[in-house]
Amino acid sequence: MIDFQKLANDYGTPLYVYDAVEIRERIRRAREVFKGFNAGIVFALKANGNPALLKIMAQEGVGADVVSKGELLAAKMAGMKTIVWNGNGKCSSEREHFTNKGINYVSIDSFEELPLWDGVEIIKLLRVNPDVDARTHPHISTGLKSHKFGVPIEKIDRVADRIDGLHVHIGSQITEVAPFLDAYSKVLDCAKKYGFKYINLGGGWGIDYSGDSLDIEALKSGITALFSDYDGKLISELGRFIVGPAGYLVAGVVSVKHSDKVFVVTDAGMNTLIRPVLYDAHHRIRVLNGTGKTVTADVVGPLCESGDILARDRRLEIPIPGSAIVFENAGAYGFSMASNYNGMPLPAEILVDGKEVKLIRKRQSIEELFVNVKI
Ligand SMILES: Cc1ncc(COP(=O)(O)O)c(C=O)c1O
């Protein structure tokens, strides 16, 4: 059991805490899904790009899905071997940078991008849009024709001889198996038709934020049946599934305000964890030191925004000001989406590996906010 209050006392709040044992366990579970297949796992750094976490993944043989030079650097720092470059807006200076660094796969997002890769030594996957509704939050849904990603799957005939395989990613935090199998089967049919030897299945596996999660066993059965006679290579590009449940946000309780509603005011705001505001996301909360009295409260941050809410109308024990509360499932799209809004420095990050506790990112200082500023 991680002693979150002690970590809060020792390192201050807000603080992201990650559990290395859980990360390894989740990688093992992901691998289990592809048992018996020629398959590799790459981690989507957009979910969390801390190189200390990536190093754990690299040691487990996990590669990287990167979309920027910054993410590529983090992956290289961590020693990740297989690199997939994704993105719908790759610019020419990035293209030169990435090809010089010897990456393995590129996911090509459009017919317009394709000629830029002709003659380049790299495994070329074309991102296809299968027109499948992932039935997740609209902001993290990517597989419909109206979305900006990929090309219509039925239109690849004219370019099939210029690519090595296909890439599909229909969205994130998907909790039903059917949309995955629907998309995968369309891609598989297409790969068989043209003899493609690579299929990148994207990520999107949903985790249990509030009781709903993807049935991994059912997904495994579906994948096993679907790909049983495919002899090419499968790539799984997971973010949230690997790191989401392994991360926690520890926030300090600044005050408990009683007005029309009860507000628990914490030192973490939407600058620290934007998911509740951006995606109506639900993070379970643990009160570490409570008063014994349960109320319905909004848990809010310190920013000058009415939308700065981390949890709405939540039944919880009133915490004692000065103590810490914990937001669960904060490992993915938590720190990686944090900002300096309202002049707030980025939080510190801690890695717990069994009994070992390590500071893997210092809290940003106020002075560091202005290192690039000239007046
Ligand atoms: C192309 C691509 N691959 C993989 C992922 C990872 O998704 P998730 O974190 O839901 O596994 C994303 C994130 O949306 C993505 O855009």
Looking at the domain assignment, is residue 23 inside a domain?
A: no
Q: Is the dihedral of CA 166, 169, 174, 179 positive or negative?
A: negative
Please tell me which of 90-94, 155-159, 223-227 the model is most confident about, judged by mean pLDDT. Answer: 223-227
- Nearest ligand 1 atom, CA 206: 10
- 286 and 204 within one domain: no
Residue 284 annotated as part of some ligand binding site: no
What whole-number distance in Å separates Cα of residue 47 and Cα of residue 278?
15
> What mean pLDDT comes out for the span 290-294?
97
Using the 3D structure, point to which of 238, 271, 300 is the last residue of a domain: 238
- 214 and 80 within one domain: yes
Looking at the domain assignment, is residue 24 inside a domain?
A: no
Cα-to-centroid distance, 142 and ligand 1 (Å): 10
Pairing of strands 105-108, 83-85: parallel
Residue 180's identity, in one-letter code, is F
Mutational test site, ligand 1, from 46, 107, 168, 236, max ligand atoms within 8 Å of CB: 46
Calculate the dihedral angle through the C-alpha atoms of 224, 225, 230, 236, rounding to the nearest 10 degrees: -40
Mutational test site, ligand 1, from 33, 169, 208, max ligand atoms within 8 Å of CB: 169
Mutational test site, ligand 1, from 199, 237, 337, max ligand atoms within 8 Å of CB: 237
- 345 and 330 within one domain: yes
For the stretch 163-178, pLDDT in tens is 999 999 999 999 999 9
In this prediction, residue 291 carries a pLDDT of 96
- 185 and 59 within one domain: yes
Looking at the domain assignment, is residue 29 inside a domain?
A: no
**Cα separations (Å) of 220 from 25, 127, 137, 175?**
17, 23, 24, 14
- 249 and 234 within one domain: no
- 329 and 183 within one domain: no
Backbone φ and ψ of 343, nearest 5°: 70, 30
Looking at the domain assignment, is residue 84 inside a domain?
A: yes
In this prediction, residue 343 carries a pLDDT of 98
Count of the separate structural domains present in the chain: 2
Residue 238 annotated as part of some ligand binding site: yes
| 46 SS3 class | coil
> What mean pLDDT comes out for the span 46-66?
98
Residue among 105, 148, 138, 127 at smallest CA distance from 202:
127
Within 6 A (CB) of ligand 1 lie 44, 46-47, 65, 86, 169, 172, 202-205, 237-241, 332
In this prediction, residue 10 carries a pLDDT of 98
- Nearest ligand 1 atom, CA 239: 9
Using the 3D structure, point to which of 205, 238, 271 is the last residue of a domain: 238
Helices H / strands E in the chain, number of each: 9, 18
In this prediction, residue 131 carries a pLDDT of 83
- Token reading at 268: 């973490």
Looking at the domain assignment, is residue 25 inside a domain?
A: no
What whole-number distance in Å separates Cα of residue 198 and Cα of residue 345?
42
Question: Of how many residues is the chain composed?
Answer: 375
pLDDT exceeding 70 applies to what percent of the chain? 99
In this prediction, residue 102 carries a pLDDT of 82
- 12 and 43 within one domain: no
Cα-to-centroid distance, 171 and ligand 1 (Å): 7
Looking at the domain assignment, is residue 63 inside a domain?
A: yes
What whole-number distance in Å separates Cα of residue 196 and Cα of residue 200?
11
DSSP code for 205: B
Q: How confident is the model at residue 336 (pLDDT cuts 50, 70, 90)?
A: very high
**Residue ID of nearest Cα to ligand 1 atom 5:** 203
Cα-to-centroid distance, 225 and ligand 1 (Å): 24
pLDDT exceeding 90 applies to what percent of the chain? 90
| 136 SS3 class | coil
Residue 333 annotated as part of some ligand binding site: yes
Residue among 235, 129, 237 at smallest CA distance from 190:
129
Q: What is the CATH number of the domain that holds 361?
A: 2.40.37.10
Residue 239 annotated as part of some ligand binding site: yes
**Residue ID of nearest Cα to ligand 1 atom 4:** 203
- 56 and 12 within one domain: no
For the stretch 130-185, pLDDT in tens is 988 877 777 767 777 777 888 999 999 999 999 999 999 999 999 999 999 999 99
- 127 and 110 within one domain: yes
Looking at the domain assignment, is residue 374 inside a domain?
A: no
- Nearest ligand 1 atom, CA 173: 10
Cα-to-centroid distance, 360 and ligand 1 (Å): 24
Residue 16 annotated as part of some ligand binding site: no
What whole-number distance in Å separates Cα of residue 22 and Cα of residue 352?
10
For the stretch 58-86, pLDDT in tens is 999 999 999 999 999 999 999 999 999 99
Please tell me which of 94-108, 143-157, 202-216 the model is most confident about, judged by mean pLDDT. Answer: 202-216
Residue 165's identity, in one-letter code, is G
Cα-to-centroid distance, 237 and ligand 1 (Å): 7
| 249 SS3 class | strand
Containing domain of residue 275, as a range?
4-17+245-369
What mean pLDDT value characterizes the chain?
A: 96
Backbone φ and ψ of 151, nearest 5°: -120, 155
Half-sphere CA count of 210, side-chain side, radius 13 A: 9
| 15 SS3 class | strand
- Nearest ligand 1 atom, CA 241: 11
Cα-to-centroid distance, 255 and ligand 1 (Å): 37
- 326 and 189 within one domain: no
Q: How confident is the model at residue 262 (pLDDT cuts 50, 70, 90)?
A: very high
- 277 and 146 within one domain: no
Looking at the domain assignment, is residue 215 inside a domain?
A: yes
Q: What is the CATH number of the domain that holds 117?
A: 3.20.20.10
Looking up tokens 């024990």, which residue turns up?
A: 317
In this prediction, residue 59 carries a pLDDT of 98
Burial class (CB in 10 A: 0-12, 13-18, 19+), 349: buried
In this prediction, residue 163 carries a pLDDT of 97
For 233: left if phi > 0, alpha if psi spans -120 to 50, otherwise beta; the answer is beta
- Nearest ligand 1 atom, CA 332: 9
What whole-number distance in Å separates Cα of residue 24 and Cα of residue 339?
28
- The residues pairing with 250 across neighbouring beta strands, listed in sequence order, are 15, 326
Using the 3D structure, point to which of 238, 273, 299 is the last residue of a domain: 238
| 72 SS3 class | helix
- 264 and 221 within one domain: no
Write out the catalytic residue numbers: 304
